[in-house]
Amino acid sequence: MAVGVWQLLLDMGIILSVDRQLYFQDAHAFYQFSADECTYLFCEFEKEECWKNGVKLLLQLLPLAPPRIDMPDQKIEDTTETNAEILARLTSAVQRELAAVIALKARKSAIHQNEENNSQEKRGLEELKDTSDAQAEDGGGGERAREEAGAALVLRKVWSRSPAPERRGRYVVVAGTPEKILEHLLSDLHLEAAQDKDTETLLDDFLLTYTVFMTTDDLCQALLRHYCAKNYQGKEDDSDVSCRKRKVLHLVSQWTSLYKDWLHEDEHLKQFLKTIYRNVLDDVYEYPILEKELKEFQKILGMHRRHTVDEYSPHRKNKTFFHQFSLKESWLQHRGTMNEAEEIFCRVYITEHSYVSVKAQVTASAQEILKIIAEKIQYPEEELALVTVTFSGEKHELQPNDLAISKSFESSSRMFVYRKDLTDSLNPFAENEELQQRSVRILGINTWDLALELTNFDWSLFNAIHEQELIYFTFSRQGSAENTENLSLLLQRCNEVQLWVATEILLCSQLCKRVQLVKKFIKIAAHCKAQRNLNSFFAIVMGLNTASVSRLSQTWEKIPGKFKKLFTELESLTDPSLNHKAYRDAFKKMKSPKIPFMPLLLKDVTFIHEGNKTFLDNLVNFEKLHMIADTVRSLRHCRNNQFGNEVPSKEHHELKPYVHHLHVIDNQQALFELSHRIEPRV
């Protein structure tokens, strides 16, 4: 039905296919409103909010449209529920634009059609106008703005799906200035009773996405203004003032709980927490009800209250407060002290086009890195050396106690492992040495254990991702990699697992072992799916579908039928048609904990971002931010529970380092050369 509506819009010329296609497709296609239909600012129907009736008109026209061979013949029920379900999927901006272009198209068509059609369309448009006027009088379904002179907050009334007698309307934020959105949020908070779902969602949306439209300093200053205001607009008594202060403190508590140590290095937040804590100490005498919030703040700050309230008197606040902070400010340094133990992926190149991905602490020495590499490539450690090579060709050998990562992570150099000969001269490995006497260790490892180690490793990366990283990754507000470091690690890992599959297969010169390898990877992919690790599952399937691997006809011909059938079933889950419907349906049915295919989740967020403006008429488009926050919140559902304590069997002591430090070839040309070398073109 939805496809039919969009096809009708395409036939009417309201939307245009970028690829000039005549049939509407709901995936892998781009559409735009026609240029001459985009003058909706001058359309009276847009101003009268007739978009609901516009969609209703489309549903009435749909059965009259010429039938399409590829379009199912469905009877469309013109009901309120049907219309509401369709309209709920559109943002207000799209609804307004759609209503405008439908109205304009109807006007233009009237000029060229006969009088009978002309009068019918006029009657239809008059009905739209009458219905819109009735809606405006009733106050339902439309948008309303607060602030008479220049709207600063736009709210839209939506109705619950309960039966008619129990239906209730509520207002959701459509757009607004940052200050007005915050003011509306604080006014909606409930302190004594549990938050209703809508208020809880609004609070979460705001905290997840505020960095898009305001800085942390802006938010801190706005919260301080709300907290310190003596009598807001002269309409508050003491209970109202204390309630407002408690709401601000509740928001701060939720903020710090959501972000944990994400903002602990932010100087503005440090100063803000110190300032607001001092204000709470002052106010607790006048408003004793703040005692509970004071204790909550002490927990937030990691402080242990060893003194009575009297000792926090305003006359002693400076001395006591700074003494307490000097003793108990360790939480503020938490993220800083963790930096030394921070782990990253370090690429150590064996040849020009192949490297070992080493997960190590930033303080790892050259000797520690070298030990991992020696074990990985099965070469005596004493005969190897780590060398940084600049792009200009300059070489520098790292000494055993040198900090390998800091030296090699300069933007103009890469880290290589070289061989030492008897004279201690350094010699690089040759590309063709990869194929000589290389043992295929993966064949001796249990597939379930290997998949389990992949899942455990991916979970450690996925569980470390903060929801804010997806926001920063999408909007690139500060353009800094340190705001998305955990997300980048998981994305890098997904890419490396895909390359690892191709590398292992293409470096195996013996046909019989290559067949065993392909079978092994098919089983590992199936186990990853069973373990609900869709990130590695996708990576392995894509690795097997790499062009340099899929062309190995001799290898694939020898794969047994049951493995080919299993692989076909696994492939169907990666089918991108209908916006990856197969994957989405399967993933939805999986219970948590589970690891999603992160590139697709990022694609969803990016699609929302690029398809909707962040600001509309100088107001924050909060509908867009709600959709983004809703997508980002899916991480919580995936991490509702922790993976079990199941660990691989101990018989493979080399399994963990093997999985943690993958040896891959990252050059597609080199992979194709290997592919043609082991199976030349006939």
Please report the pLDDT score of residue 681 as a whole number: 87
Q: What is the DSSP string of 274-335?
A: HHHHHHHHHHHHH-GGGHHHHHHHHHHTT----S-GGGG-GGGHHHHHHHHHHHS-GGGGHH
Residue 539, φ and ψ in degrees, nearest 5: -60, -40
Residues spanned by the domain of 406: 342-430
DSSP state of 264: T
Residue 657: pLDDT over 50: yes
* Mean of pLDDT over the chain: 76
Number of domains in the chain: 4
Structure tokens at 189: 């908070």
What order of strands is seen across the sheet that includes strand 619-621? Answer: 143-146, 153-159, 169-176, 619-621, 615-616
Whether residue 322 sits in one domain with residue 183: yes
Distance of CA 622 to the CA centre of its chain: 17
For the CA atoms of the chain, what is the radius of gyration?
A: 31
The angle formed by the CA atoms of residues 651, 652 and 655, to the nearest 5 degrees, is 155
Q: Is residue 611 part of a domain?
A: yes
Please name the residues in contact with 682: beta carbons below 8 A apart, sequence gap of 6 or more: none
Whether residue 243 sits in one domain with residue 306: yes
CATH code, 502: 1.10.840.10
Residue in the structure block whose two tokens are 């060709």: 393
DSSP state of 651: T
State the average pLDDT over residues 75-91.
59
For 348-361, the pLDDT digits (tens) are 888 877 888 887 77
Residue 87: pLDDT over 80: no
Between residues 204 and 35, the one the model is more confident about: 204
Residue 156: pLDDT over 70: yes
Please report the pLDDT score of residue 137 as a whole number: 44
Whether residue 522 sits in one domain with residue 475: yes
Kindly tell me the burial class for residue 339, based on how many C-beta atoms sit within 10 Å of its own C-beta (0-12, 13-18, 19 or more).
Answer: exposed
Q: Is residue 505 part of a domain?
A: yes
Whether the Cβ atoms of residue 142 and residue 49 lie closer than 8 Å to each other: yes
| Confidence category of residue 109, pLDDT binned at 50, 70, 90 | low
80, 113, 138 - which closes a domain: 138
DSSP state of 533: B
Pairing assessment for the beta strands 143-146 and 153-159 based on DSSP bridges: antiparallel
Structure tokens at 635: 């991480």
Please name the residues in contact with 115: beta carbons below 8 A apart, sequence gap of 6 or more: none
Structure tokens at 446: 């249990």
Structure tokens at 93: 């901006």
Residue 70: pLDDT over 50: no
Please report the pLDDT score of residue 568 as a whole number: 95
| Confidence category of residue 635, pLDDT binned at 50, 70, 90 | very high
Provide the β-strand partners of residue 595: 533
Whether residue 20 sits in one domain with residue 96: yes
CATH code, 232: 1.20.870.10
**CA gap 554, 515 in Å, rounded:** 9
Ramachandran area for residue 122 (φ above 0: left; ψ -120 to 50: alpha; else beta):
alpha
Question: In which element (H, E) is residue 158 found?
Answer: strand 153-159
For 212-256, the pLDDT digits (tens) are 999 989 999 999 999 988 765 566 676 788 888 999 999 998 998
Residue 15: pLDDT over 80: no
Q: Is residue 183 part of a domain?
A: yes
Q: Is residue 153 part of a domain?
A: no
For 175-184, the pLDDT digits (tens) are 999 999 999 9
312, 336, 360 - which closes a domain: 336
**CA gap 145, 154 in Å, rounded:** 4
Q: Is residue 134 part of a domain?
A: yes
Nearest CA to 472 out of 205, 182, 209 is that of 209
Please name the residues in contact with 2: beta carbons below 8 A apart, sequence gap of 6 or more: 26, 86
Residue 138: pLDDT over 60: no
From residue 475, alpha-carbon distances to 213, 274, 469, 491, 494 in Å are 11, 30, 10, 17, 22
123, 138, 153 - which closes a domain: 138
Please name the residues in contact with 617: beta carbons below 8 A apart, sequence gap of 6 or more: 175
380 preceded by a cis bond (ω within 30 of 0): no
- What is the number of residues in the chain? 682
Q: Is residue 169 part of a domain?
A: no
State the average pLDDT over residues 448-470.
93
Please report the pLDDT score of residue 136 as a whole number: 44
| Confidence category of residue 140, pLDDT binned at 50, 70, 90 | very low
Please name the residues in contact with 154: beta carbons below 8 A apart, sequence gap of 6 or more: 143, 144, 145, 146, 173, 174, 175, 176, 619
Structure tokens at 380: 């005596």
Residue 424, φ and ψ in degrees, nearest 5: 65, 15
Q: Is residue 504 part of a domain?
A: yes
**CA gap 64, 57 in Å, rounded:** 12
Between residues 420 and 481, the one the model is more confident about: 420
Whether residue 109 sits in one domain with residue 34: yes
State the average pLDDT over residues 509-525.
95
3-state secondary structure 532-544: CEHHHHHHHHHHH
Whether residue 579 sits in one domain with residue 523: yes
Whether the Cβ atoms of residue 252 and residue 191 lie closer than 8 Å to each other: no
DSSP state of 649: -
Whether residue 533 sits in one domain with residue 462: yes
Residue 325: pLDDT over 50: no
Residue 334: pLDDT over 60: no
Structure tokens at 14: 């309201």
Residue 410: pLDDT over 70: no
The angle formed by the CA atoms of residues 599, 601 and 606, to the nearest 5 degrees, is 90
3-state secondary structure 230-242: CCHHHCCCHHHHH
Pairing assessment for the beta strands 384-390 and 354-361 based on DSSP bridges: unpaired
Please report the pLDDT score of residue 270 as a whole number: 81
Q: Hey, is 413 helix, strand or coil?
A: strand
Whether residue 417 sits in one domain with residue 465: no
Q: How far apart are the first and last CA of the chain?
A: 50
| Confidence category of residue 627, pLDDT binned at 50, 70, 90 | very high
Ramachandran area for residue 617 (φ above 0: left; ψ -120 to 50: alpha; else beta):
left
Residue 407: pLDDT over 50: no
Please report the pLDDT score of residue 71 as a whole number: 45
Residue 534: pLDDT over 90: yes
For 554-566, the pLDDT digits (tens) are 999 999 999 999 9
Question: Cα-Cα-Cα-Cα dihedral of 142, 147, 148, 152, to 10°?
Answer: -80
Query: Is the overall model pTM greater than 0.85, yes or no?
Result: no
Whether the Cβ atoms of residue 621 and residue 575 lie closer than 8 Å to each other: no
Between residues 316 and 371, the one the model is more confident about: 371
Whether residue 566 sits in one domain with residue 531: yes
Structure tokens at 468: 């804010």
From residue 336, alpha-carbon distances to 274, 402, 405, 487, 605 in Å are 19, 22, 18, 19, 30
**CA gap 486, 464 in Å, rounded:** 6
Q: Is residue 150 part of a domain?
A: no
Residue 443: pLDDT over 60: yes
Please name the residues in contact with 108: beta carbons below 8 A apart, sequence gap of 6 or more: none
Structure tokens at 193: 């009773």
From residue 350, alpha-carbon distances to 282, 387, 428, 501, 673 in Å are 63, 11, 8, 18, 17
From residue 196, alpha-carbon distances to 153, 200, 247, 550, 629 in Å are 21, 6, 15, 53, 18
3-class SS shares of the chain: helix, strand, coil, % to 5: 60, 10, 30
Whether residue 557 sits in one domain with residue 583: yes
Provide the β-strand partners of residue 358: 346
Whether the Cβ atoms of residue 326 and residue 635 lie closer than 8 Å to each other: no
What are the residue ranges of helices labelled H in 328-389? 334-338, 366-377
DSSP state of 263: T
Pairing assessment for the beta strands 413-420 and 343-349 based on DSSP bridges: parallel
Whether residue 449 sits in one domain with residue 353: no
Please report the pLDDT score of residue 41 as a whole number: 44
Residue in the structure block whose two tokens are 């369709």: 86
Whether residue 320 sits in one domain with residue 203: yes
For 294-324, the pLDDT digits (tens) are 888 887 776 433 333 443 344 444 433 333 3
